[in-house]
Amino acid sequence: MQHGKAERLKKAKPSPAVHVDPQLAHRLPPGQMLTERFPILHEGDVPEYDLGTWSLRIFGEVEQERTFSWDDLMKLPRSQQVNDIHCVTRWSKFDTDWEGIRFKDLLSLLNVKPEAKHVMIHADQDYDTNLPLEDLMRDDVMLATHYNGEPLTPKHGWPMRLIVPHLYFWKSAKWIRGIEFMREDRPGFWERNGFHNTADPFLEQRFSGEDLPIPEDEWVRKEFD
């Protein structure tokens, strides 16, 4: 029946994956699909904050612990960058536009001890993720406050999130509250739950052991904007 077919077509959602221009194919890591959506993925509820009481705590292998207020951080030099992002649930998004403070610009103000080789990023809600300090010193690692020229939305990490373009997106913690410098590495939330410690998308470092049963279309069912 014609009518039935039209109704079905109307209901069928268009595929959220988009065709990759062959000229840009080298930017898509193996096993990834390109999307123009911006899926929203996290554990727990979206936190609410008052910027007057929000703070970022610096601790661990530093000469002095420090707590930065929002106003303190807003006095630091700002940077802008465009980079691709790659989620382990197989979506990638090209040319995402961020503004904020380069991690290395913040680092230059911290008296980090030479023994510090690893970092744990602490975030709400009970989220953490570990990275080598060297990775965070790259020019494109950012404490982002803005996306597409607007403050981050609460669901994407307002007021501040980490952006680590060269690793799977779970390393890019939203709602960051603390940076802990460490001598020895320690696994963060997903790293304790079967995901790869390093997480290079071009090497497909998804899992640390057996593949985890993540449905290929997991991200398609998530909220997005």
Instruction: Mark the segment that binds ligand MTE (CB under 6 A) among 49-57, 73-81, 119-127, 210-218.
Output: 119-127
Among 41, 62, 76, 214, contact with ligand MTE (rule: CB under 6 A)? 41
**87 in Cβ contact with 168 (< 8 Å):** yes
Q: How far is the CB of 56 from Mo ion (least distance, A)?
A: 23
Residues touching ligand MTE, count (CB under 6 A): 18
Query: Binders of ligand MTE among 142-161, rule CB under 6 A?
Result: 156-157
Q: Is 214 in the site for ligand MTE (CB under 6 A)?
A: no
Nearest to 51 by CA among 80, 76, 74: 74
Give the Å distances, CA to CA, from 175 to 92, 124, 186: 21, 5, 20
- Give the binding range for Mo ion (CB under 5 A) out of 116-124, 164-172, 177-185, 214-222: 164-172
Which of Mo ion, ligand MTE, none interacts with 61 (beta carbon under 5 to 8 A by kind)?
none
Q: Which helix (H) or strand (E) holds 163?
A: strand 161-163
Candidate residues 28, 32, 35, 42; the one interacting with ligand MTE per rule CB under 6 A? 42
Question: What is the Cα–Cα distance from 105 to 102, expressed in whole angstroms?
Answer: 5
The residues pairing with 85 across neighbouring beta strands, listed in sequence order, are 93
- Per CB under 6 A, the segment of 13-21, 22-30, 33-41, 210-218 that binds ligand MTE is 33-41
- Any contact of residue 87 with Mo ion (CB under 5 A)? yes
Residue 158 touches which of Mo ion, ligand MTE, none (Cβ within 5-8 Å per kind): none
Of the candidates 112, 134, 83, which has an alpha carbon nearest to the alpha carbon of residue 179?
Answer: 112
Three-state SS at 51: coil
**What is d(CA 169, CA 34) in angstroms, rounded to the nearest whole number?**
14
Find which of Mo ion, ligand MTE, none residue 40 binds, CB within 5 to 8 Å per kind.
Answer: ligand MTE
Q: Do strands 91-102 and 79-86 pair parallel, antiparallel, or not at all (unpaired)?
A: antiparallel
- From candidates 127, 141, 159, 220, binder to ligand MTE by CB under 6 A: 127
Q: How far is Cα 69 from Cα 158, in angstroms, rounded to an integer?
A: 15
In the complex, which residues of this chain contact ligand MTE (CB under 6 A)? Answer: 38-43, 87, 123-124, 127, 156-157, 169-170, 172-175
